Structure formats: structure tokens, C-alpha cells
Structure 1
């Protein structure tokens, strides 16, 4: 029941914006979503399962936003700037994404282990959520690789590919630094231009 699952995850996220995860009650999440508590337990198994599913959803949403920013026919610098701006803005606005990208989990947040947990769920989405969650290093690598793939030129040689990978990783790391110290108007584009290979600017 995908609709009920999404409603429950939305309710859990909303609850988390108002109180620490330790104070979020399963019965309240179910009531907010308009489903029975049994439906909640059938879908997630436990509060820990709900936490893992919520963290997984926010991670997937962040990466989907990166894909959208990198898509299209704009010049490479514009697409990388859009991905960097998405990264910084999402990490500032979404505490779960910020924790996933930085590794800084506060006591207000659920902090599920990033390693896989034994899953007995019959729900495919929950079995995926029970798998390993991405670490900050995983995110840097995933975004770097997606950016490099989106921007690679068909006839690029190994040296060009390595240079592009380095530049994309620098952009990701710059974006993460902008979470704590946002640049001024137009500042992200300047930072991206400064690290891109000349032929991509």
C-alpha cells in the first residue's frame, strides 16, 4: 500500500519537525496519517523500521533532486551550480538530509545504524530501507559520479575523465561547506567556476 506508506512517512516527518524523535509516538503517526496503528506496524515493523524508511526516503529525495539539477541541456557550469545549490539548500532545510550529508546526528533525530539490519519484512520498500544507508562519503561519491556522467563528453580520454571527477568532487565538497557558511548572491556559481576545468566553464 504505497499511498498509506507515503502518508505515514509524511506524518512521521511532520512529527519530527515539532518534537524530538524520542517523543514521536507511533499511535500519533498512525492517527495523523489516517490509518490504523496495525497498518503502521505492518508497513514498518517497528519505530526503528519507520526511522530507517524515513531516512531512506529523504536520501532518495535528495539524490533525485541532484539528478533533476544535472539534467537538461544547460552548460556544464550551470548544471553543476544547480546541483550544488540544491545540495546546500536541501541540507539547510531538511535536518535528516543535513545529518546524512555531514554525519552530524543530533539527539532530536532518529539515528538508525548506517549498516544493514536483519529484515524480516515482507514489504519490498521496507526490505530496501533495512539495507545499508548511505554515509557522507557515499553521498560525495554518488553525486560526484552522477555529475561526471552527466557532464562527460563522448570523446573524453582517461585524463579528461579523471579531471572531471576531481572537479565534480570539489563542487560537492564546496556545496557541503556552504551549508555552514552560505555564500552571497551568485557566490555558488563563482565557486563552481573556480574549480571547473577551463573547457567546461
Structure 2
């Protein structure tokens, strides 16, 4: 897809009232989970606690997420969405400079994830197998969602590369970013700069368009 084609891409479809209301409901529930996690460990948070905090019924929680694990997965996917949003913002703030864009985005994500109460709960106290599985062997839904979104971000940006190359880049960025959630980076290394240095040459080699156009 050329830069001109991306510029001419149709605007996003306006959400229906029902979908917008459901999205607002889900965001409110996930905000409630975050608020509870600021007060207590994930192991101490029940669906009843969340329903009371969010002001919804337990049946509503079951309808939306299916289980406590499903709720945690939705929370983690929202965290992955923030990572994609940060990459999107950094790309357009650093046109033609993918190394700086990646460094800024990864740095912001690492800071945000380190401060997130669910991640803090994962990394502190007793071992939580459900959360650990969520970001390791059961991480496929999170990875698939984030990669899909990031592919679109790259395709609509000045990173004018083939679909195959964009997907390679998106998969690499997401998997590397997610790996640092369960195993935080060593304090003596600038991981964001290291990843930008690692991936930068690949992006520069696949980007064929003049980003200033």
C-alpha cells in the first residue's frame, strides 16, 4: 500500500450506540479492577468485589468476560493496547526516525507497565500461576490482538513496507515488549534504546518511501 493510498483510506466506521455503550461498560469494569488492585493483591480480588466496585451485577461480569481469568485477560489486552497507542504516537512524533520512535514507545511502555497494579501484583508476594500463564503460555490472544493492531499502525504510517515485513516487525515488537512484563529489565541497561538499536536497521531497510511526503 502506497502513502497516497493510506492517505485516501476511508475513515473508521462510527460505532453504534450499543457497541459504544458496551465499550464504556467494559472500560468502567477494567478501571474498577485497577482501583481494587491499588488496595489489594490480585489473589484477594473476587468477581463480587469487582461487581460492587463497578456497580454492575455478577451476571454482567460473566456475560462480558466469562470468568475471573477472562477478566484478567481483558485487562492485559488493554495494557497491550496502550503499548500500541504509544508506538503510534511516537511514530508520528518522529517521522523518518524509527529508532527514536521505538525507543520512546518502549520506554513509555516499560514505565507504565512497571507502575500498573496488575503487573505489580504479578511480580510481588506469592506466585500467581494464573497471571503468569496469562503473559507466558496463555499469551496467544494478547499477542494476536496487539500484533493485529500494530500491523495497522505501521501500514498507515510512513513505514512504507510490504505486508510481510510489517507483520514481522509487529510480531517482534509485541513479543519483545511482552517478555519484559513478567521479567522486568535489568536496571543497569537501557532496554528501550537496545531494542531500538536492534530493530532500527531492519525497519530502515524495509522502508522505501520518503517519510516527508
TM tier, smaller: 0.5 to 0.7
Partner of 1:78: 100
> Structure 1 133/194 Cα, relative in aligned 2: closer, same or farther at 3 Å?
closer
Partner of 2:44: 23
CA RMSD, aligned part only? Answer: 4.7
Counterpart-to-counterpart distance in 2, 1:178 and 1:40? 31
1:133 is paired with a residue whose SS is helix
For structure 1, the 5+ residue unaligned runs are 117-130
- Match runs of 1:116-131 below 5 Å: none
2:74 is paired with a residue whose SS is helix
Q: Structure 2 residue aligned with 1:56, among 51, 74, 77?
A: 77
- 1:151 positional shift: 5.9
Does 1:134 pair with 2:143?
yes
Partner of 1:181: 187
- 1:92 positional shift: 2.3
Partner of 1:66: 87
1:71 is paired with a residue whose SS is helix
Counterpart-to-counterpart distance in 2, 1:17 and 1:109? 19
2:88 is paired with a residue whose SS is helix
Judge conservation of contact 2:32–2:53 (CA < 8 Å) in 1.
Answer: yes
Counterpart-to-counterpart distance in 2, 1:57 and 1:190? 25
For structure 2, the 5+ residue unaligned runs are 1-21, 205-213
Q: How many residues align structurally?
A: 167
Judge conservation of contact 1:115–1:132 (CA < 8 Å) in 2.
Answer: yes
Counterpart-to-counterpart distance in 2, 1:50 and 1:36? 14
After TM superposition, the score normalised by the length of structure 2 is 0.53
Counterpart-to-counterpart distance in 1, 2:127 and 2:81? 21
Does 1:91 pair with 2:97?
no
- 1:132 positional shift: 2.5
